[in-house]
Amino acid sequence: MCGFVGQIKNIASDFFSDYRDWREEIHHRGPDDQGTYIDEYVQFDFHRLSILDLKHGHQPMSDKSGRYIMVFNGEIYNFIELRMELEEAGVTFDTGSDTEVLLELYALEKERAVHRLRGMFAFVIWDKQEKRLFSARDHFSIKPLYFNETEEGMAFASEEKSLFQPGTRTLDSHSLQNYFTFQYVPGERCLLEGMQQLKPGHYLIKEPGKSPLTYEYHHLHFQPDSSKSFEEYVQQTRDVLEDSVQKHMRSDVPVGAFLSGGIDSTSIVALAKQHHPNIQTFTVGFERDGYSEIDLAQVTADQLGVENIHKVITPEEVIQELPNIIWHMDDPVADPAAIPNYFVSKEASKYVKVVLSGEGADELFAGYNIYREPLALKGFDYLPGFLKRALHHLARIFPEGMKGKSFLLRGTTSLSERYVGNAKIFDEQEKQALLLDYNKDFVFKHVTRALYQEVAHCDPTTQMQYIDLHTWLHGDILTIADRMTMAHSLELRVPFLDKEVFKVASKLPMDTKISNGTTKYVLRQAVRDLIPEPVTNRKKLGFPVPIRHWLKNELYEWATQLIRNSPVDDIFNKKEIWKLLDQHVRGKHDHSRKIWTILVFMVWHHMYMEQPSSVPGYETSFAKNLPRNREQNHSVRVPVHG
């Protein structure tokens, strides 16, 4: 796991653009080693987090011939198998790193090499002979890769902040509107104009004097296959997960795991324990009742016979660290789950250098409770159109909060109109009231329309999975996972998001996933003999965050101060923001997610637009109104029992 920045010029010269401290912006991604490569066309700067072959694997790395130079962020989990194949073909190796395997594989197979890789990766290779730059990103976009093109050439980096040049920054108005729908910026665009991300499953080719070209090498599709028995699907799921976890355990440094007490993380820990009996697990929670998984995780860890290390997070700590959280995110992501992810990563980094986590299980195996909604709304499919329209009109005039209103609205609205992913914050009418420069041509359906067309033949739940797989997963879940762990120089590995696991999951019929009144049914059956019985049927947990309560109490003064002082009057109608906060505090409506999305943007705007030279640790006045008489919580190590 590492970080890199670089650029390729259109014309050979000794001059390179002056990017603001671009090396130091990613030091947190790789504090163990640093390297640079420069020639007349390209410059690479690299920071390494040493995981495999700690003494070697220095980057930028060149192949045996010296023709190819590479920087690489990620892990290739099948590198041992690939190395054996290459050795049989006559290739010799100087290191035990997966970096050298990847580089030598590319030297032999060029862009075809990406089809052979099983792992998480973002890498850039410069061909000195052909004057050709090749870059690729993994199938799921676990690892980030940003780029922007200028008249001078193209710059690229592991984090967007490394590409910021001095001067005026402009918001991308399309991305701004999308942010307030999705709570993140979907797709390859970024919130700042001109910045882009390489899409998952894509590679990019750039030659001096030519525009970069991108190509898709892999597309994630669900292809249900009903030819097998349920027992066969269960066994396939178990086998591929065991293989994935075993390969994800390959490391020359200690490996731990996040543990929430739910089926996803518990499955990973149980499988990992077979290879590492003394694996440490990490959990966080909050002081408020109902918002802590520490007790569940401790019980689960005790039953599995592993150590659990946990921490309680206070509201004061949240505000103290919120600028750091948002700074590390690059574009704002208003998912409150970033908070516990940041703190659990900080805690884990004190003990291990690599952690396993359960991201991706919900998207692959249909784990979100909302995926059961099509079954609940099935009756509406039998109603004639005129009756559905009448019911929809009636529901719209019902008072907010009236029982049945939401059910009728959802049942009489098409899936493509109502479902944009796991979070829909503001609808178009609400955004029009909130944003001063709202553009009716930038509606959220521009993001999801093509995706719905690609799965029009599938059942509604599969369509929902597909939308989340291509938007929510990499825009929210994996962005948070990467940034919050790397903020603490911690490598995160996600065994569910393995291309071999996806091959199995993509062929599962719907009745193997949503069945017996539960989600992820086939996964639960596949690991039921490994995990404590109560966990098998436990509902999805995640890391709940008490934003709704905090905005009425502990964070109210902070929120009002931020809204009052934030110089964003040219972006927002602040009267709408005050109305949302007032209704929320008085208990009239739960607007916590809407308010939080606005507040996160305001903090982001302060650092990236108002103070573009800000770095983590700057003094903020946001927290000055918070009480300081609370006792600080400390980490607790829970020993193994039995």
Neighbour count for residue 513 (Cβ, 10 Å) = 24
Helix, strand, coil % (nearest 5) of the chain? Answer: 40, 15, 40
**Residue showing tokens 């991604």:** 29
pLDDT of residue 628: 36
pLDDT at 268 over 80: yes
Helix (H, G, I), strand (E, B) or coil at 473: helix
Q: Is residue 278 exposed (0-12), middle (13-18) or buried (19+ Cβ within 10 Å)?
A: exposed
What average pLDDT does the structure give for the chain? Answer: 91
**Between vectors from CA 342 to CA 31 and to CA 285, what angle results, nearest 5°?**
140
pLDDT at 58 over 60: yes
pLDDT of residue 638: 41
- The confidence band for 618, taking pLDDT boundaries of 50, 70 and 90, is very low
pLDDT of residue 26: 86
Query: Per the annotation, does 447 bind a ligand?
Result: no
In angstroms, rounded to a whole number, what is the distance separating the alpha carbons of residues 78 and 98? Answer: 9
Lowest mean pLDDT among 47-56, 371-380, 423-432, 559-568: 47-56
pLDDT of residue 208: 97
pLDDT of residue 261: 82
* Tokens describing residue 388: 């559905």
**Residue showing tokens 């890789």:** 117
pLDDT of residue 169: 87
Helix (H) or strand (E) holding 365: helix 361-365
pLDDT at 617 over 50: no
What is the distance between the terminal CA atoms of the chain, rounded to a whole angstrom? 35
pLDDT at 27 over 50: yes
pLDDT of residue 636: 45
pLDDT, mean of residues 36-44: 94
The torsion angles phi and psi of 112, rounded to 5 degrees, stand at: -65, -15
CA 174 to each of CA 10, 163, 191, 325, 337: distance values in angstroms, whole numbers, following the listed order: 29, 20, 8, 24, 25
Q: Is 118 left (phi over 0), alpha (psi -120 to 50) or beta?
A: beta
Q: Which residues contact 356 (CB under 8 A, 6 or more apart)?
A: 245, 248, 249, 255, 256, 257, 258, 268, 269, 272, 492, 493, 494, 495
In the chain, pLDDT over 90 holds for what percent of residues?
79
In angstroms, rounded to a whole number, what is the distance separating the alpha carbons of residues 328 and 332? Answer: 9
Lowest mean pLDDT among 143-157, 388-402, 513-527, 607-621: 607-621
- The confidence band for 94, taking pLDDT boundaries of 50, 70 and 90, is very high
In angstroms, rounded to a whole number, what is the distance separating the alpha carbons of residues 642 and 53? Answer: 35
Q: Pairing state of beta strands 280-286 and 255-258?
A: parallel
Q: Which of 522, 515, 211 is nearest to 371 (CA)?
A: 515
Q: What is the pLDDT of residues 483-541, one digit of tens each?
A: 999 999 999 999 999 999 999 999 999 999 999 889 999 999 999 999 988 887 776 66
**Between vectors from CA 24 to CA 21 and to CA 29, what angle results, nearest 5°?**
145
pLDDT, mean of residues 625-639: 38
pLDDT of residue 16: 65
With b for 16 or more beta-carbon neighbours within 10 A and e for fewer, the 389-426 pattern comes to eebbeebeeeeeeeeebeebbbbbbebbeebbbbbebb
Q: How many residues does the chain have?
A: 642
pLDDT at 619 over 80: no
pLDDT, mean of residues 36-46: 94
pLDDT at 155 over 50: yes
pLDDT at 39 over 50: yes
pLDDT of residue 1: 66
List residues with catalytic annotation.
2
Q: What is the pLDDT of residues 247-257, one digit of tens each?
A: 999 998 999 99
Cα atoms in the 13 Å half-sphere on the side-chain side of 124: 31
- The confidence band for 56, taking pLDDT boundaries of 50, 70 and 90, is confident
Query: Per the annotation, does 416 bind a ligand?
Result: no
CA 351 to each of CA 306, 390, 640: distance values in angstroms, whole numbers, following the listed order: 14, 60, 16
pLDDT of residue 22: 65
pLDDT of residue 289: 81
In angstroms, rounded to a whole number, what is the distance separating the alpha carbons of residues 422 and 371? Answer: 10
Q: Is residue 243 exposed (0-12), middle (13-18) or buried (19+ Cβ within 10 Å)?
A: middle
H-type alpha helices, 222-333: 230-248, 263-273, 294-304, 315-329
pLDDT at 632 over 80: no
Q: Which of 180, 201, 202, 204 is nearest to 191 (CA)?
A: 180
- The confidence band for 264, taking pLDDT boundaries of 50, 70 and 90, is very high
DSSP for residue 487: T
* Tokens describing residue 576: 């709408």
Of residues 395 and 367, more confidence is placed in 367
Query: Per the annotation, does 98 bind a ligand?
Result: yes
pLDDT, mean of residues 185-191: 95
Query: Per the annotation, does 45 bind a ligand?
Result: no
In the chain, pLDDT over 70 holds for what percent of residues?
93
Which residues are bridge partners to 125 per DSSP?
Answer: 70, 134
pLDDT, mean of residues 449-459: 95
For 2-216, the fitting CATH number among 3.60.20.10, 3.40.50.620, 3.30.420.10, 3.30.70.560 is: 3.60.20.10
